[in-house]
Amino acid sequence: MIRRLSQARERGIPEATVARLPLYLRALNGMAERGLATVSSEDLAVAAGVNSAKLRKDLSHLGSYGTRGVGYDVEYLIYQISRELGLTQDWAVAIVGVGNLGRALANYGGFVSRGFRVAALLDADPEVVGDHIAGLNVEHIDELEAVIKRRGVSIVVLATPAAAAQQVADRVIAAGVTSILNFAPVVLAVPEGVDIRKVDLSIELQILAFHEQRKTDRMTGGPAMAEEWPEAVDL
């Protein structure tokens, strides 16, 4: 029988909460560095840029780690969030595609600091295979399955051209990887049980452009008047 912990810590933390935990963690680390021992939900919420009720509800999903009238113990909360996110273990990450972006990712400091270790760099271009980047030797894509197995890679970052992404994804999934961070501008088709997260630089800019256009429209006059589409009426 499983020992019942302090309280209702069911399996199943809301996705929206999971996405904010790293934010809280970062804020807490800053506070720990500045020597704060405890922090209130209000202060932590401000530091993380969210509302304090939301923060408390988020933390309540992990357990009851605060003290009423006092706040949260910074170190203890850091430990709890880290453990929940799985950052107390070390994750081997492989980056496939060593173009400009892949290189930037390989050199990005934010990974190492959080339990992530870039364990391999792979590329199809014989020109870059053999290069040394961020202390790693770039290996040929043919080695993909072997490298994943040998180094215990469990997360793969795709920084390949769009055309190659699906086929690389298929291979890493066949090799047993179930977590992929995709920077290629394509919608990947993956089987049930594989987690994909997508980062798309151009989409982010397009969303900004939409709002920017709205703002300047509002300045200059009526909505959607200046650039009327003439053939719209005939539809």
- Per CB under 7 A, contacts with DNA among 26-55 are 40-42, 50-54
Stretch that binds its own copies, among 51-59, 62-70, 138-146, 167-175 (CB under 8 A): 62-70
Rounded to a whole number of angstroms, the minimum distance from the CB of residue 45 to DNA is: 9
The answer to whether the annotation marks 35 as part of a ligand binding site is: no
Token readout for 94 is: 């492989």
Closer to DNA by Cβ: residue 80 or 160: 80
The answer to whether the annotation marks 100 as part of a ligand binding site is: yes
- Per CB under 7 A, contacts with DNA among 63-92 are 64-72
Asked if 235 interacts with its own copies (CB under 8 A), we say yes
Closer to its own copies by Cβ: residue 83 or 142: 83
Judged by CB under 8 A, the residue of 44, 94, 105, 173 near its own copies is 105
Strand-by-strand arrangement of the 71-73 sheet: 38-39, 71-73, 66-67
Judged by CB under 8 A, the residue of 44, 72, 84, 98 near its own copies is 84
Residue 178 contact among DNA, its own copies, none, beta carbon within 5 to 8 Å by kind:
its own copies
Judged by CB under 8 A, the residue of 8, 70, 174, 203 near its own copies is 203
Do residues 161 and 180 make contact, with C-beta atoms less than 8 angstroms apart?
no
x/- track of binding to DNA for residues 88-127 (CB under 7 A): ----------------------------------------
Do residues 156 and 174 make contact, with C-beta atoms less than 8 angstroms apart?
no
**Which residue's structure tokens are 């999934």?**
173
The dihedral sign for the CA sequence 209, 210, 212, 213? positive
Best CA proximity match to 28, nearest among 39, 15, 42, 20: 39
Helices (H), 9-155: 15-33, 41-48, 52-60, 74-85, 100-107, 109-112, 144-151
Rounded distance between C-alpha atoms, residue 84 and residue 115, angstroms? 13
Residue 24 contact among DNA, its own copies, none, beta carbon within 5 to 8 Å by kind:
none
Give SS3 for 208.
helix
Judged by CB under 7 A, the residue of 3, 7, 221, 232 near DNA is 7
Best CA proximity match to 192, nearest among 213, 208, 178: 178
Rounded distance between C-alpha atoms, residue 48 and residue 129, angstroms? 41
The answer to whether the annotation marks 135 as part of a ligand binding site is: no
Binding residue ranges for NAD(+):
97-102
**Residues making contact with DNA (CB under 7 A):** 7-8, 14-17, 40-42, 50-54, 56-57, 59-60, 64-72
